[in-house]
Amino acid sequence: MKQSTVDALVAGGLDPAWVDDLVRRALAEDLGDRGDVTSQATIPAGQAGVADVVARSGGVVAGLPVAVAVLDIVLESPVAGAGIEQHVADGDRISPGDVLLTVTGPTQRLLTAERTMLNVLSRASGVATATRAWADELAGSGATVLDTRKTTPGLRALEKYAVRCGGGTNKRLGLYDVAMIKDNHVIAAGGVTAAYDAVRRTYPDVDVQVEVSTVDMAVEAVRAGATFLLCDNMPPAQLREVVTAVGPQIQLEATGGLTLQRAREYADTGVHYLSVGALTHSAPIVDIAMDLRGR
C-alpha cells in the first residue's frame, strides 16, 4: 500500500496490517487459481481505463481508505498513469449519482479490484448509514448510541470503524478489553456480588460492566462496586427507577428490543447509552457501483 493509504488507515484507527490481510484474503477468494478469466479473455493486458465509483443509493459513506487499499494492492506494480482521485470523505452524506472515487489504470486490474472494493464500501457505508440515523435521533438528548459484538466474523474492525464514521461510539472490541458480567456469569458464579468480586480479584485493571434486569440487581451491583451497568430489556419506566436508585454517578446503558422510533423515549429516561446490535448485524448495504467510462 502507498504511504498515504497507510496514513489514512492509521488516522481512522484501522491497523494497516489487518487491512492488508483482509484485502488479500478477499481478493484470493474472488480470483482463485486462474484470476479474472472474463477480463483476461476480453480485455487486452495493455488497455488503460478510467472508472468512477458511484453511489446508486443515498446514505453515509464509510470504508474509503480500505477501498483505496484494495486498489493499491491490485495496482501494486508501478503502472504509468495509474491514479486514484477521492471526491468525498468517510462520514459524508451521499446521494444517488454522487461519484466517490475516480480510478485510472489498466482496465483488467480495475475490474479485478471492483467487487472486493465495492463489497467493502457497500457494507461499511450501510453500517455508517444505520448508525447516523440513531445518532441523529439522539442528538441533544445526552445519550450516545453504542455498537455491540454482533459483527460479521472477521470484519469487526471495519464495522466498528463504520460505526464511528456514522457518529456512534464503539463499546468493547472483544472479550478481552472489558469484563462484561452477564446473566450466565452471575448464575455460574453464584450471584452478582460473587461474580463482580471474582473479576476484580483476577483482572484488577480491566473495566467491568454488569448486566442487570431488575432494580434490585442494579442496586446490588453498585453496592459490590460496579460503576457501569447494562440494563437489559427494561422498559422506560423501569429504567427511570434504576436511574433514581443508583444515582447520577453510575454509567447506565439500555439494551434489548430498542427501536429507532422509540430511541428518544429511552434516552429521556436518563441513561447515558443505548446499545444497538442492529447497527452491525442488520444494516442493509448502500448500493455502490463502479462504472467504466467508454473509450
Q: Is 182 a catalytic residue?
A: yes
Report residue 138: phi and psi, to 5°. Answer: -90, -5
Which grid cell is 100?
Answer: 466517490
- Check if 293 is active-site: no
Of 52, 56, 60, nearest in space to 100 by CA: 52
Helix (H) / strand (E) containing 254 = strand 251-255
Buried b / exposed e across 42-59, counting CB within 10 Å, b at 16+? ebeeeebbbbbbbbebeb
Instruction: Give me the catalytic one of 114, 159, 232, 253.
Output: 232
The C-alpha atoms of residue 46 and residue 262 are separated, in whole angstroms, by 57
Of the residues 98, 211, 220, 253, which is catalytic? 211
Q: Which of the following is catalytic: 2, 30, 52, 115?
A: 115
Nearest Cα to 228, choosing from 172, 155, 284? 172
232 annotated active-site: yes
Q: Which candidate in 182, 223, 265, 293 is catalytic?
A: 182
Does the annotation count 150 as an active-site position? yes
Grid coordinates representing 27 are: 481478493
Active-site residue (options: 2, 24, 149, 150): 150
Our answer to whether residue 115 is catalytic in this structure is yes
The grid coordinates of residue 265 equal 423515549
Task: Tell me which residues are annotated as active site.
Answer: 115, 150, 182, 211, 232
